[in-house]
Every structure is written in structure tokens, then in C-alpha cells.
Amino acid sequence: MASKKDDEKDLKKATDKKEKVANDKGAKKEKAKKDDKNPLEDKVKELQAQVDDFSDKYLRAEAEMQNMQTRYKRERADIYKYDGQKLATSVLPVMDNLDRALQVEVSDENGKQLKQGVELVLKHFNKALSENGIEEIDVLNKKFDPNECQAVQTVPADDEHPADTVVEILQKGYKLADRVIRPCMVVVAQ
């Protein structure tokens, strides 16, 4: 009987071993399938991350291109808008000298003709400047604005000229569009 029990035990052990081996093989197959899926899933995740990264870089590059185009258009508009500034600043001292020449009193006929010629030249200069958007800043008897004027001297305020009012213009100021080319040099009442 001992041998029958031993045989049954051996049979049971052999069966358990077969089942265990079969279970191990099944587990290995499932693990292999999981391992096969895991590298594929990892690869998919990696590729998705790359796609997201490239999409982000593409959107950023596109936004940068649009910003550059906008900046370029604005710079071109400013160039056109303030095109004559350099020429105007070069011509303004000539205008000042022509104004000074007109302030001289003349008595003879030649002097009067010369003065008329200077007036005509000054008139053409003013016309050329205004056609190019350059205007004289008119501040006489107006409130002092430090953005357009430079106070060179002060005088006491009176009934005609309240405080912070421009009393006299010593040198004319000019602006191009909304930009001051040269501020007015003025005397201000205080």
C-alpha cells in the first residue's frame, strides 16, 4: 500500500509539475505579449511626444514669422512717415538765416529787391516743407508744453500773459507728423 500511496503522490507531483510548467509557459507567453505591447506602447508614446514637440515648435515659428512681418510693416511705415526728417533738420538753419535776413531794415531800391527775393525763397522753402509734412509749431501766447518747447528765459507774468504762457519765440520749432524735429526756444511767463 505504501507503494500505491507513493505512486499517487508521484503522479500528483508530476501532474502539479505539468500544470506549473504549463502555467509558467502561459505566464511567460502573457508576459511576452505584455513585453511586446509595452515596447510598442512606449514607442507610440515617444512618437506622440515628438509630434507634440514639433507641433509646438511649428506654432512658435509661425507666430515669430507673423511678429516679424508686423514689425517689418511698422518699421516701413515709420520710415515713410518720417522720411524727410534728416533733410528737414539740415534745412532748418537755412530757414532761420532767411528769417533773420528779412528782419533787416533796408532803405534803398536794391535792398528792397533783395529782400523780396529772400521772401520768395523763404516762401518756397515753407511750401516744400509743408508738402512733406513738416510744420512749424505754433506756441505763441499758448500754455508752455515741454514736449514742444524749450524754455530759455522767463519773465514775470502779467495781465496779458498768465503764468506758464509762452511770451516770445526766440527760435521756431518744427515737427514732422507727430514727432518734434526741433523744439521751439521760447520765453515763458512765470
Residue 27 has pLDDT above 90, yes or no: no
What is the distance between the alpha carbons of residues 136 and 88, in angstroms, rounded to a whole number? 11
- Each residue's pLDDT tens digit, 160-172: 888 889 999 999 9
34 Cβ partners below 8 Å, 6+ apart? none
| Calpha distance 94→113 (Å, rounded) | 20
Residue 18 pLDDT greater than 80, yes or no: no
C-alpha cell recorded at residue 17: 509539475
On whether the pTM is more than 0.75, the answer is no
**Could you give the CA distance from residue 113 to residue 44 in angstroms, rounded to a whole number?**
93
pLDDT for res 31? 60
Q: Taking the CB of residue 168, how many other CB atoms lie within 10 A of it?
A: 15
pLDDT category of residue 30 using cuts at 50, 70 and 90: low
CA–CA distance, 43 with 38 (Å, rounded to integer): 8
Give pLDDT tens digits for 59-81. Answer: 999 999 999 999 999 999 887 77
- The whole-number average pLDDT for the span 102-111 is 89
Query: Distance (Å, rounded) from C-alpha 79 to C-alpha 164?
Result: 35
